[in-house]
Amino acid sequence: MMLLLAAGTAAGILVATTLIGPKKEFADKMEPFECGEHPIVSPKLRFSVKFYLVAIFFVIFDIEAVFLYPWAVIFKDLGIFGFVEMMIFIIILAIGLIYVWRRGALEWQ
Amino acid sequence: MEILIPTIKLATIYPEIIITTFAILVLLLQVFPTVIGKDYLGYTSLAGVILAAIITGQGGASGEGGEAIYSFSNMWVVDNYSRFFKLIFLLGTGLTILISIKYTKDEGINNGEYYSLLLFATAGMMLMAGGTDLIVIFLGLELMSISLYVLAGYVRKRLISNESALKYFLLGSFATGFLLYGIALLYGATGTTSLKGISGFISEASFGSPILIMGMLLLLIGFGFKIAAVPFHMWTPDVYEGAPSPITAFMSAGPKAAAFAAFLRVFIEALPSLQGIWVDIIWVLAALTMTIGNVIALVQDNVKRMLAYSSIAHAGYVLVAFVSTDKLGVASILYYMLAYTFMNIGAFAIVIIIGGKGEEKINLKDYTGLAYRYPLTAAAMCLFLLSLTGIPPTAGFMGKLYIFSAAIKSGYVGLATIAVLNSVISVYYYMKIILAMYMKEPESSVQHSPLVFTPAMIIALGLAVYGVLRMGIFPSAYISMAQQSYLSF
Amino acid sequence: MFYIIGGVAVLSALIMVTNKKPVSAAMSLIVVMFCLAGIYVILDAHLIAALQIIVYAGAIMVLFLFVIMLLNIQEKEGRVAKHKIFFQFTWILATGYVFINMVKLIGAGDLPARMEGNIDGFGTTRVVAEILFTDFLLPFEIASILLLAAIVGAVILAKAKIE
């Protein structure tokens, strides 16, 4: 019920402003404000593949981090057994980090 | 709350631990190059493979008498079946490393990552062979596949290698999706991912739920892709042609065997009650795979591409044995995969030698008159090709004999007939290479650069020739080994 | 509650598929991801819901956007296939068939009993963790090796220079 009310209020305000508010559309207004130049231009240059590499590393280490949540929840119950298995997991991925680092994949050149 | 900590028999995964450790070791040696020279990375990984093979051969844990040892909450098993397959993988990887050493230097890809990924792929294959839970099998398959996608595109400056990696990745991940969806549906239908649990549930419930059948079909498609069965074979020619030759050799032997290992185990152990359905489907797949693989191979001039289609056809022969699903069938698959590893990697070794730097000479015309210039090399190639055709006294002949007799004994005479006819077709294109090598005079106008033989390459070739002849002339030891592997199943 | 979130999810999924601008499509995909997370919360699967947001709506979507920018796809309509209508018709038939079957399957209640209802907090973080770190120990460790192999692969394929 609360949720419906909240959603309804938000939607209502949006609808109301679009209905009631004055509408004057012209080219300059429809553009985001940016000093002196047109902000929306098609990028001539492609994005560098380096961004992609960073994104991949983000995904991978994100997944690693995610495994820590359930582990933390039952850490006390698992005791040393859980500690060892998580350490193996982390060490293997730490080797991945060392590798990436030493390989120079983190440098932007 | 008390949590039951499972007892773990670490000894059951020693071979896998060794392979993984060496993979990591080679990786670290690459980024800390002061310890040993880059030239020894290949040999280091080879040492790991040999060590793992020795431990696997000894039984991994206390597997004397061949009884299966389960561990890791029944997710993992060491039995003769998985040990036999693991030895095939390790053999394939070992041979691949031997034929890679010079190739990687020529192509400027002599990195630790190359060997590291090979070892990771091997670890994945071993996990596929020993996993008794769909999750373990799936993770092993992914580990293997991801390493292979990268290896296929390893020669980055070659456009065709990039294309190969991209195609393999896109189609491969699609197939993985099918497989995963199949696993999810099986889990949904039975509430477990353990192979034993699934078969237990199905026999208790004794109904063919549509979800179950849909899951089985999706699994079939996923595995069908990995073994390159028609009609899921589209990626094979392009990927095999574009990938670096040692990787093509590797892909056609180890991962294919691994996919068969998991395929067999999942279908025979978990889904025996649906046998009535899947046997018919595999029958059709086998017939299609053999026929289409062989017929398209007839018109190929590029030897690598021809061998790709031939490998499709060979997957078809193995599927023939799969149809019979009994002890003899499984034993003949094991025997055939071992023989195939020897003969196919051998043939690719020659392709690498002749291909030379940059893999430029991979067409049929580059083989003309080889026998006049390098009689021994030509003889070895001839032997491998005869074995692939299935002509005595080679391993390929015995392998085909066992497969066909297994099919006939189970009453699949029609399929066996198709298989024999296909073998006859295959004679034509294998003979084309042999004829080019022996019957045609070398063209004097073409300048031949001398072929380079390195010790590692010679060892690999020697091993392959030995294996092909030994398994062809004295097959009984290997056959009984293969048959024992089924007992523990 | 389920129907609200489910409806939004299906709607956003439709927008995503039909939208011609790749970035807008990706944005609708984020909405789908969040809705799925909401459904997981309803099912008491809090961990999966958190994963859904952290990994999918966060990391994977970043990757998506980077790839879109990497490829620099223009807002162009793809080439119109020759038998477009025929293909569309076939697709609609195929999806319709699968959909009807799914409805039938779910309606027939063909699922085994243990799938019904929530047993002892099935799916909560604690239960998942207990299974993950005991019975599924081996897959858990394999996952780390898999991630390591993926790291190596990403470096090999995407790094600008490899000596």
For chain B, give every domain's residue range. 10-487
Q: Give the separation between CA B166 and CA B14, rounded to whole angstroms.
A: 34
Q: What pLDDT was estimated at residue A11?
A: 84
* Model pLDDT for residues C32-56, shown as the tens digit of each residue: 989 989 888 888 788 888 888 888 8
* Number of folded domains that form chain C: 3
- Chain A: give the shortest CA distance to residue B2, in Å: 7
- Chain A: give the shortest CA distance to residue C67, in Å: 7
Summarize chain B as % helix, strand, coil (round to 5): 80, 0, 20
Q: What pLDDT was estimated at residue B2?
A: 63
Token duo for residue B113: 């990552």
Contacts 24+ apart (CB under 8 A), B203-211: B203/B273, B205/C112, B206/B273, B208/B273, B208/B274, B208/B277, B209/C110, B210/C101, B210/C105, B210/C110, B211/B185, B211/C105, B211/C110, B211/C111
- Chain B: give the shortest CA distance to residue C128, in Å: 12
- The verdict on a CB contact (< 8 Å) between A102 and B1 is no
Residues of chain B neighbouring C146 (CB-CB closer than 8 A): 139, 142-143, 146
A81 touches chain B (CB under 8 A): yes
Those of residues 14-73 in A touching chain C at CB distance below 8 A are 42-43, 46-53, 55-60, 62-67, 69-71, 73
Residues 6+ apart with CB under 8 A from B470: B395
Q: Which amino acid is at A91?
A: I
| Residue A30 predicted with pLDDT over 70 | no
Residues of chain B neighbouring A74 (CB-CB closer than 8 A): 3
A95 touches chain B (CB under 8 A): yes
Q: Is residue A39 part of a domain?
A: yes
- The verdict on a CB contact (< 8 Å) between C153 and B127 is no
Q: Where are the alpha helices (DSSP H) in B233-302?
A: 235-242, 245-265, 275-297
| Residue C14 predicted with pLDDT over 50 | yes
Q: Is residue A73 part of a domain?
A: yes
- The verdict on a CB contact (< 8 Å) between B72 and C137 is yes
Mean pLDDT for A22-49 is 58
Q: Is residue A109 part of a domain?
A: no
Q: What pLDDT was estimated at residue C116?
A: 46
User: What band does B382 get if pLDDT is binned at 50, 70 and 90?
Assistant: very high
Q: What are phi and psi of A3, to 5 degrees?
A: -60, -45
Residues of chain A neighbouring B2 (CB-CB closer than 8 A): 77
Chain B / chain C CB contacts < 8 angstroms: 88
Share of residues in chain B with pLDDT > 70 (%): 94
Q: Is residue A59 part of a domain?
A: yes
Question: What Å distances lie between residue B350 and B304, B327, B343, B377, C57, CA to CA?
Answer: 11, 35, 11, 7, 50
* Model pLDDT for residues C61-97, shown as the tens digit of each residue: 888 888 787 776 665 555 555 556 677 777 788 888 7
* Number of folded domains that form chain A: 1
B interface with A, Cβ–Cβ < 8 A, is 1-3, 5, 24, 27-28, 30-32
Residues of chain A neighbouring C62 (CB-CB closer than 8 A): 55, 58-59
User: What band does B488 get if pLDDT is binned at 50, 70 and 90?
Assistant: low
Is B364 or B250 the better-scoring residue by pLDDT?
B250
DSSP C22-63: HHHHHHHHHHHHHHHHHHHHHTT-HHHHHHIIIIIIIIIHHH
Q: Give the separation between CA C146 and CA A92, rounded to whole angstroms.
A: 10
Residue C151: which domain range? 122-163
Mean pLDDT for A16-42 is 61
* Model pLDDT for residues A50-73, shown as the tens digit of each residue: 778 888 888 888 888 888 888 888
Q: Give the separation between CA B187 and CA B181, rounded to whole angstroms.
A: 10
Number of residues assigned to chain C: 163
Nearest CA in chain B to A104: B31
Chains that touch C (3 or more CB pairs under 8 A): A, B
Residues of chain C neighbouring A85 (CB-CB closer than 8 A): 133, 137, 140-141
A75 touches chain B (CB under 8 A): no
- The verdict on a CB contact (< 8 Å) between A85 and C141 is yes
Within this chain, do residues C62 and C27 fall inside the same structural domain, yes or no? yes
Contact of B35 with B48, CB cutoff 8 Å: no
Listed residue (B39, B47, B41, B58) closest to B19, CA to CA: B47
Mutate: best of B13, B25, B27, partner A, most A CBs <10 A: B27
Q: Is residue A69 part of a domain?
A: yes
Q: What pLDDT was estimated at residue B337?
A: 93
Residue A50: which domain range? 2-19+32-103
Mutate: best of B141, B150, B178, B214, partner C, most C CBs <10 A: B150
| Residue C133 predicted with pLDDT over 60 | yes
* Model pLDDT for residues B171-189, shown as the tens digit of each residue: 999 999 999 999 998 888 8
A63 touches chain B (CB under 8 A): no
Question: What Å distances lie between residue B82 and B86, B131, B350, C36, C140, CA to CA?
Answer: 6, 9, 30, 40, 21
| Residue B448 predicted with pLDDT over 70 | no
Listed residue (B357, B348, B360) closest to B446, CA to CA: B360
User: What band does A104 get if pLDDT is binned at 50, 70 and 90?
Assistant: confident
Show the 3-state SS of A35-93.
CCCCCCCCCCCCCCHHHHHHHHHHHHHHHHHHHHHHHHHCHHHHCHHHHHHHHHHHHHH
Share of residues in chain C with pLDDT > 90 (%): 9
Listed residue (B147, B152, B149, B151) closest to B122, CA to CA: B147
Residue environment code for A35-49, b if the CB has 16+ CB neighbours within 10 A, otherwise e: eeeeeeeeeeeebee
Q: Give the separation between CA B194 and CA B187, rounded to whole angstroms.
A: 9
| Residue B65 predicted with pLDDT over 60 | no
- Does the reported pTM lie above 0.95? no
- The verdict on a CB contact (< 8 Å) between B24 and A78 is no
Mean pLDDT, chain A, rounded, equals 78
- The verdict on a CB contact (< 8 Å) between B5 and A74 is no
| Residue C114 predicted with pLDDT over 50 | no
Which of A74, A78, A99 lies nearest to residue B31, judging by beta carbons? A99
Q: Give the separation between CA C139 and CA B230, rounded to whole angstroms.
A: 31
Q: What pLDDT was estimated at residue C106?
A: 65
User: What CATH number is associated with residue A87?
Assistant: 1.20.58.1610
Contact of B309 with B293, CB cutoff 8 Å: yes
Share of residues in chain B with pLDDT > 90 (%): 48
Q: What pLDDT was estimated at residue B344?
A: 93
- Chain B: give the shortest CA distance to residue A76, in Å: 10
